[in-house]
């Protein structure tokens, strides 16, 4: 045997859908066998979906998962060796495992040793870590096993041990979520691990949306010298086939290490097929393309997996709702997207016209329902309660809250998922109305900074070949249109400055002095930090939305609501 044919099956599963996940695995395993695969890899926690969160702590969930694993074992093609990610019961707590299935039997289970506990991960809270590496001896091939984070910890005793075993390859089952800039970081890490074990690394990653997280696939095989043998398409299901050369399989007998490595020997394997054509690399994506694809996949899966047939979007004629509507149409189809326009006396003719033109370009229904009469009725009722008080943000927020009430009523009546339209810059500074424009079941662009919203709209129009999102809408200065002649810059710094400060304060955890030292105005930085810190209570009540930055609100950044800490309250004197 000169090569071992491996199928990397990056598939989209649903958390908790044990039966349908099992059926999906069986279907794709059958396709892999038809293509001559001898070893099939499935992503981390494929059977249960990832991340299962506190489902793992329910004993009846683990029992149900293990029962489905037994059914899966009986239904897989018998000659195909399958490595499937799923939870299993450990000594004290469940384990995140890679289970080896062959000829109707569970041969062994490798438990993930490195449990991540940062960012979106808190695996140490729910899983029990494994304590022994595992190696498969498949004919002449020696294959080490990893699960996701295992390959992220370098210079570990386990990797040094694998380097001594003269491996034919290292396989990694992964559920690595997307954020912008993640792909080169991931590939550099995998290259370093491959170089440490002196063997090719086959990395099989999950794909699909799960609440805030999007898994982008991009499964690959990388050589110790950094050469990519093949890479799967991202943001979609894919089967990646590769004939792994076994020239490195000869070497010292591993049996002197029985107390340090769990060794699984498989002698009966499927016969080889004619060689595959040369492997291919899926084309690279620009940053804007991958963000847009992540938004589409996140919304599509959240909508479908939550059982909604269609979505509802309040379209103002501004850039945020325009981007949300365009993504929704590309993700779900125009027939599953409904808009509604709810203008008041402050809604300009330009925004009304742009909202109508956008709906026409997207080919979606968008009734226009003026709400000034409702606003006046509310004010007539409320003004006697505050005699003599001047108009302020109360009257502005009232308009947004009336809109929120109406879109939620339509959601109830028609069973539509309301997609909120606030961006990350607004969520960070509190420039959004609680129970108003923050209403909804999914806040699609809550992790997309305002400057990136503009970039995505321009990019989308370039891909369409015309101004599907009206250019006048992109060119108009942003405004909430809740009072006369209002512009966002009346309340916030210019977005180019604001987003640069927010990136440093939120994603890079810089303090006030560090940000000021980079050339930003001290008063503006102080004001932005005060806005961010003072609006945690709003963000805690916001709907989930797609994570696209390295540090999103919610899963990544968990701050106390009542918080008296003031970063750098006494700035160092300037020289």
Q: Where are the domains of the chain?
A: 3-271, 288-540
Sign of CA dihedral 202, 85, 553, 522: negative
> What was the pLDDT predicted at 309?
96
Instruction: Report whether pLDDT(574) > 50.
Output: no
Per-residue pLDDT tens over the stretch 146-179: 999 999 988 788 888 888 888 999 999 999 999 9
Task: Give me the pLDDT at residue 568, please.
Answer: 63
Q: Choose between 499 and 279: higher pLDDT.
A: 499
Q: 178-198 pLDDT, tens per residue?
A: 999 899 999 999 999 999 999
Alpha-carbon gap, residue 381 to 420, rounded angstroms: 28
Stretch 56-75: mean pLDDT? 95
Percent of the chain, pLDDT > 90?
Answer: 77
Specify the CATH architecture of the domain 3-271.
4-Layer Sandwich (3.60)
When mean pLDDT is compared across 306-320, 382-396, 520-534, 561-575, the lowest value belongs to 561-575
Q: How far is CA 255 from CA 163, 237, 259, in A?
A: 15, 38, 9
pTM higher than 0.85, yes or no? yes
pLDDT tens figures, 8-63: 999 999 999 999 999 999 999 999 999 999 999 999 999 999 999 999 999 999 99
Give the residue numbers annotated as catalytic, written as ranges: 44, 112, 148
State yes or no: pLDDT of 544 exceeds 70: yes
- For residue 575, pLDDT beyond 50: no
Judged by average pLDDT, the poorest of 10-19, 190-199, 286-295, 558-567 is 558-567
The alpha carbon of 573 is separated from its chain's Cα centroid by a whole number of angstroms, namely 42
E-assigned strand segments in 390-435: 417-420
**SS3 of 81-110:** EEEEEEEEECCCCEEEEEEEEECCEEEEEE
Average pLDDT over residues 206-231: 94
Q: Which of 223, 212, 239 is nearest to 80 (CA)?
A: 239
What pLDDT score does 249 carry?
43
pLDDT at 245: 83
Torsion over CA of 197, 202, 208 and 210, rounded to 10 degrees?
Answer: -30
Q: What is the pLDDT of residue 247?
A: 58
Query: What dotted CATH number matches 288-540?
Result: 3.40.50.620
């Amino acid at each position: 045997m000169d090569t071992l044919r491996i199928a990397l099956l990056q598939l989209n599963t649903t958390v908790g859908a044990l039966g349908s996940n099992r059926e999906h695995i069986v279907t794709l395993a059958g396709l892999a066998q038809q293509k001559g695969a001898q070893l099939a890899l499935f992503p981390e926690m494929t059977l249960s979906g990832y991340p299962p969160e506190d489902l793992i702590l329910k004993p009846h969930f683990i029992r149900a998962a293990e029962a489905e694993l037994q059914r899966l074992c009986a239904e897989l093609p018998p000659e195909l060796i399958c490595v499937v990610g799923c939870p299993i019961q450990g000594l004290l707590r469940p384990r995140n495992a890679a289970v080896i299935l062959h000829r109707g039997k569970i041969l062994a289970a490798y438990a993930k040793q490195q449990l991540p506990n940062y960012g979106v991960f808190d695996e140490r809270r729910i899983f029990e870590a494994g304590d022994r590496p595992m190696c498969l001896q498949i004919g002449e091939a020696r294959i080490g096993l990893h699960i996701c984070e295992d390959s992220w910890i370098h210079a570990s005793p386990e990797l040094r041990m694998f380097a001594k075993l003269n491996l034919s390859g290292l396989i990694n089952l992964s559920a690595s979520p997307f954020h912008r800039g993640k792909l080169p970081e991931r590939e550099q890490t995998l290259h370093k691990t491959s170089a440490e074990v002196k063997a090719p690394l086959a990395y099989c990653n999950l794909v699909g949306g799960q609440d805030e997280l999007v898994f982008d696939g991009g499964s690959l095989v990388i050589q110790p010298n950094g050469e990519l043998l093949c890479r799967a398409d991202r943001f979609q299901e894919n089967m990646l086939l590769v004939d792994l050369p076994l020239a490195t399989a000869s070497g010292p007998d591993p049996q002197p290490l029985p107390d340090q490595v769990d060794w699984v020997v498989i002698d009966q394997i499927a016969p080889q097929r004619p060689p595959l054509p040369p492997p291919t690399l899926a084309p690279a994506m620009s940053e804007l393309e991958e963000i847009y694809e992540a938004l589409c996949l996140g919304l599509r899966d959240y909508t479908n997996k939550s059982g909604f047939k269609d979505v509802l979007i309040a379209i103002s004629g501004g850039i945020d709702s325009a981007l949300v509507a365009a993504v929704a149409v590309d993700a779900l189809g125009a027939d599953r997207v409904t808009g509604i326009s709810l203008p008041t006396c402050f809604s300009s003719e330009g925004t009304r016209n742009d909202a109508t033109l956008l709906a026409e370009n997207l080919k979606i229904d968008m009734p226009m329902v003026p709400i000034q009469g409702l606003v006046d009725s509310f004010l007539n009722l409320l003004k006697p309660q505050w005699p003599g008080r001047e108009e302020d943000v109360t009257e502005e927020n009232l308009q947004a809250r009336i809109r929120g009430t109406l879109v939620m009523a339509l959601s109830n009546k028609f069973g539509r998922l309301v997609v909120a339209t606030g961006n990350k810059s607004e969520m960070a500074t509190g420039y959004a109305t609680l129970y108003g424009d923050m209403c909804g079941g999914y806040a699609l662009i809550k992790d997309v900074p305002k400057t990136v919203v503009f970039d995505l709209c321009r990019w989308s129009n370039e891909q369409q070949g015309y101004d599907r999102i009206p250019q006048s809408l992109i060119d108009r200065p942003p405004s909430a249109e809740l009072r006369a002649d209002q512009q966002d810059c009346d309340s916030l710094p210019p977005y180019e400055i604001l987003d640069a400060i927010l990136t440093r304060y939120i994603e890079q955890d810089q303090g006030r002095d560090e940000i000021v030292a980079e050339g930003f105005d001290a008063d503006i930085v102080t004001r932005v930090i005060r806005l961010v810190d003072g609006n945690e209570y709003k963000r805690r009540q916001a709907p989930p939305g797609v994570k696209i930055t390295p540090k999103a609100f919610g899963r990544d950044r968990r701050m106390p609501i009542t918080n008296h800490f003031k970063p750098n309250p006494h700035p160092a004197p300037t020289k």
